[in-house]
Amino acid sequence: MEQFKRNFNSHLEESIRKHLVNVYTTLSMSTVACILGTYIQLLREIVTPEVGALFAFISLFGFVFVGSTKQMFGIRLSMLLVCSFSFGVSLAPVIQFVLLFNDPTIITTALAGTALIFIGFSLCSILSPSGKWLFLGAPLSTYLLSVTLLRLFMGGNFVLEMYIGLGVFCAYILYDTQLIIERKRMGEGDVLSHSLILFLDLVNVFVELLRILKDKDNKKKKISIIDTPQFQRLRNIKQLGGTYWVFPSSSHNRFEHSLGVCYLGGEMLEKIRSRQPELGITDSDILCVQIAGLCHDLGHGPFSHLWEHFMENANPEAVWKHEECSIKMLDFLIKKNELEDLFHKNDITSRDLIFIKELIVGPDSNIGDDWPYKGRDSDKAFLYEIIANKRNGVDVDKWDYFLRDAHALGLRTSFGYERLLQFVRVIDVPGEGRQ
């Protein structure tokens, strides 16, 4: 370490060293302001991202055109911090998107990686021979202009372009650091402008690194249930079968009905959990109920229930039920699309998968115990009455198609599930447990 300090001190004049200390101190302040802007925007949206970008541009414009005198130092520093804060606000949607759809740890990985890259390339530039990296200015500027024009007219988010972009901004750290040193030697010692240059390099490295990590994370993730061809086929199966030929407006499909049942099942359990925490409803319980709602009609054939009547007439000996076909289709869907890892990642166990199938088709008729289900114990019997209620027929499946079918047919109905959700509770029935 002492040897490194001696080499560092001998390589740079004292005035340069002091200048760099001031530059990196200001850079640290700008970075903190940027992170703070992103954090506050994520926590409580203070302005729209577009307004944040506008504030960043206005403050940057003012910063550039205000004279760099000692009297204006405080004003320019304030403008720089406002610009950094506003820039952080405009970055919030990118961070929020990653938090919602990717592994959140890639954000901390990107931050740590950016810090290491910046420190490493900065030291390399500082310790390199004077002016060694200044030749990079022209080719880097040419590349940025070319990429900007290509994105403007052709679009694109190519993997190779992301890696090249990261390399370019790393090279900019080499170039800008030496440029700052040479400018100081020539008498230009504007600390704030120099820190702004490095701040833009730092942010660009972070953005490019985040894009690369996000792309890698997306490739690791398996497609979801909804994205599979087996689920997408429900877009082409009419909810009311042949009724469409009489009521042309009843053109809705099993696809949107399945989404509705998934939503209502999750809403009901969330309401119950908030009112009755003693029931011990877990996130896994809610997820399983939602998946069951999503997949409960996977087994429907052409024209929905009309297909079942056709099968009864075509082969009277075969007992064909769409619920049984749904769980077979679910097994096929998982295997065909290799969703085992996705299920495991979301903590869905083999018992949970049994539970999902029981929610769709009911208990195994071969089980002779008092409690016929394997997926959940009897203290959670109420979970089996949400998607397909074998007890009294009142379930979210019917809630959805009552309203959806009536709307499509143009029929007036007084039914509404909102009040039911508002007051739904689980009660202990003597001799039967929680229902």
> Which active-site residues does the annotation give?
322
- Tokens 């506008």 label which residue? 54
Tokens of 89: 């606000």
Largest CA distance in the chain: 96
CA distance 330 to 300: 12
Q: How far apart are CA 174 and CA 154, in angstroms?
A: 30
Cα–Cα distance for residue pair 372/365, rounded to 1 Å: 8
Please name which of 405, 401, 402 lies closest in space to residue 415, comparing C-alpha atoms: 402
CA separation for the pair 290, 286 (Å, rounded): 6
Contact residues for 234 (Cβ-Cβ < 8 A; gap 6+): 253, 254, 255, 258, 297, 298, 300
Per the CB < 8 A criterion, the answer to whether 240 and 408 are in contact is: yes
- Determine the Cα–Cα distance for residues 390 and 19; give it in Å rounded to an integer: 77
Using alpha carbons, list the distances in angstroms from residue 279 to 86, 219, 274, 292: 45, 38, 10, 20
- Residue 197 and residue 180 in contact, taking contact as beta carbons nearer than 8 Å: yes
**Torsions phi, psi for 434 (to 5 deg):** -75, 125
Burial 39-59 (b: 16+ CB within 10 A, else e): eebbeeeeeebeebbebbeeb
Among 202, 191, 192, 204, residue whose Cα is nearest residue 62: 192
d(CA 260, CA 263): 5
CA 197, distance to chain mean position in Å, is 31
**Nearest to 204, CA basis, from 175, 183, 180:** 175
CA torsion through residues 417, 420, 424, 430, sign: negative
Is 88 in contact with 36 (CB distance < 8 Å)? Answer: yes
Q: Are 234 and 253 in contact (CB under 8 A)?
A: yes
